[in-house]
Chain A
Amino acid sequence: MEDNKPTFDKILNDLTHHIRINKGFLLWMGFLSVSLLICLYAYSLQLKTGLGVAGIRDYITWGIYLSNFVFFVASSLIGMLISAVLGLIGMKWITPLTRIAETIAVAFAAVAGLVIVSDMGRPERLAYVFIYGRAQSPIFWDVTVITTYFVLSLLLLFLPMIADMAIIHRKSTSLPGWLKPVYKTLSLNFTDSPEQNKIINRCIRILLILVIPAALSIHTVTSWLFAVTSRAGWDSTLFGPYFVSGAFVAGSAAVIIAMFFFRKNYKLQDYLTDLHFSNMGKVLVTVSLVYLYFNINEFLVPGYKLKRADAVHLHELLAGKDALLFWLVQTGGLLIPIILMMFKPFRKPLPIMLISVAVLIAAWIKRYLIVIPTQEHPFLPIQHVPQNFMHYSPTLIETLISIAPFILVLIIITLISKFFPVIPLHETAKEKGIEHIKFD
């Protein structure tokens, strides 16, 4: 390792050469923008005509908008797992992944709030949630913790980047001119003085500790939106940890996918090595095993007792209408990935990225299966209502509106990763043995 120690200039160049506007970026952003416009048109139809344009009706009132919401909150949790949990217990290999994880956390948390707005018939009344919110309502807690977690994640993304921006705007020759003043302002005259480092390190330490309860709260509270009702399938004391562990599965998969594309597009092979993919694979296996354990509890225990409403719900899920999706998710998104990832060849970048895509898709479908089926068989029988009140199927407009948050997340991730270093520069340089970086 020591013989081919990279020079500082090489690291600087490797980690910042992608920071520029090129044709690929314009094409990709153009594609995202056009897609977003189409989705926004669908949303304008919903604003004009009302929520009736979606497939949600009197009985199934929470459709894919809500599945989406749970999915987005879930995916945002990964920032906390990587930076805080793995970071605080002293895992060194996570250094190049922290910013990717925080970027994903910021993007998903920011959009999760917007997803809820898509389910509102009168979005202009959003402020009423804060003005008239009741401290007794889990919905109010949810709004509070998501806002808090978003701010914490944003700070956790920003603070370690101060040093990077200070270095880059002084040293980099390739930084686009228009970005220089942005970097200069955001780097806050950082000169690596002991006093400044003391402040930053203290802030980061506080944030890393705060973000753990905040992240656990956001997904626990989101699970309570369901678990505090007595509906079969939601009426579970296990929902908090069940949701949190599921969130780590989705988030780890999202990080692996992001790592793969950053490594390829920004040529970061020297920094996001096979070891990082292999280790992330191990993380994904671990959280998947925990999630599998909660899944067994969640279905086996009510399945053993078969209380009447649970029996109807479980039958539809395990052997009835939703069985195909259910078993697809449990095997394709949980069992098979766990088995495959236990073998080293499957933890190589490409195979593990493909596995992660399967896991992430399954994670979304799982949210669908948590939110919708139970509403199709409520405690009070459904009588004398039109056919489309009894079974839920999302409409085209609804589907387009539900795609919009994904596009927004991609836009946010693209912008952050394209205009800022994906890999923490200052820390990487220090870890690679470069002691003195001149800041003036």
Chain B
Amino acid sequence: MRFKKLILIIAVLTSAPAMIATAQTWVVPDDQKAVCAPIKFTQEMQKQGEQVYMKICQSCHGLPGKDNWMKLTPPPGDLAKDKAQLQTDGELYYRITTGKAPMPEFRNILSDDDRWNVIAFIRTFNPKYVQPDPSAKGSFSGRVVTLALQYSDPMKKVIATATEKLKDGSMSPAAGVEIILYVKRYFGNMQVGDMKTTNAKGEAAFEFPFDLPGNKDGYVDITAKVNDPKNLMKSTPASGSFAIGAPTDKPGLTETRAWWSTRDKTPIWLAITYTGSVLIIWGFIIYIIISILKIRKVAKA
């Protein structure tokens, strides 16, 4: 009990300034406010958004319109209410993307499409909502950067090239863009080396660990992403499959007989030990039960 009280006091003491601070500081930059969805929301988007919402958002925000959000500090709130619905799509998108504790950032968890789908879903709870025309989204004033990936055999390096679209519509190499390289592993993306900044040619060269296990032909899946924590740019990541890993032809974790494998992949020694023990001991039990029945027979004879 005393412990619970202590937690409560700490929670109150820490949450009050946090609430004030949050109210004051979670400001969305004007250019981000003006961002709008790339296409007109469709029913399909709303349906997919609902699935994402139920999986990811609902645990804290509750069901929209039901006011059953989780009691956290600051309160997550019901997204069907004015507090959320009076914000622009750009503001919602920015908040989902960047997060602010205790709200996680979904930049690397949800794809662009998923984030817009969620907004499409949330908007279905606002009958007054009219979607801004997606074609009028020219108001964005940051850099628009597109990445490309290639492997340079002479240099033995992975090269990420950044190109940006200038105001006049022409394309030019983007210098000074921070790029992070990832390689796909079993459970997600692993960063390769340090972050690099593009040179005047818009290029960033990454050393690649060639002993990294690839598939049986040595292919590894690589992705380059722009490092843009403040979300100031619009960037398109690049992915590619390159034969620069160590060829590895190991069976999958559940394809061989092992402790952790499925029932039909029990290690043979274990199957024998288990079945053997059960058969021996139950063999004796059956023998004893038969003997018990014999006691009766012996008496009759």
Contact = CB atoms under 8 A, between A and B. Distances in A.
Interface of A: 132-136, 141, 144, 148, 151-152, 155, 158-159, 162, 188-191, 193, 195-196, 199-200, 202-203, 206-207, 210, 214, 321, 384, 386-387, 391
A52 to B, nearest CB: 15
Nearest to B300: A189
7 A-B pairs with least C-beta separation: A189-B299, A188-B296, A135-B274, A134-B263, A135-B266, A188-B295, A203-B288
Interface of B: 3-4, 7, 60, 70-72, 102, 258-263, 266-267, 270-271, 274-275, 278, 281-282, 284-285, 287-289, 291-292, 294-296, 298-300
Given A206-B288, A210-B284, A387-B7, A199 B266 contact: no
Given A135-B263, A135-B270, A206-B284, 12 more contacts: A133-B263, A135-B271, A136-B258, A136-B266, A196-B299, A199-B292, A199-B294, A199-B295, A206-B287, A207-B288, A386-B71, A387-B4
Contacts, number: 78
Contact of B298 (A132, A152, A196): A196
A391 to B, nearest CB: 8
Contacts of A193: 298-299
A387 B71 CA distance: 10
Contacts of B263: 132-135
Contacts of A206: 284, 287-288
Contacts of A190: 295, 299
A136 B72 contact: no
A148 B281 contact: yes
- By secondary structure, the A interface counts as helix
B291 A384 contact: no
Nearest to B71: A386
15 contacts: A134-B263, A134-B266, A135-B263, A136-B267, A144-B274, A152-B285, A159-B288, A189-B295, A193-B298, A196-B299, A203-B288, A206-B288, A386-B70, A387-B4, A391-B4
Contacts of A148: 278, 281-282, 285
Given A214-B281, A387-B7, A136 B299 contact: no
A188 B266 contact: no
A132 B292 CA distance: 33
B292 A203 contact: yes
A322 B260 CA distance: 34
Nearest to B4: A387
A196 B295 CA distance: 6
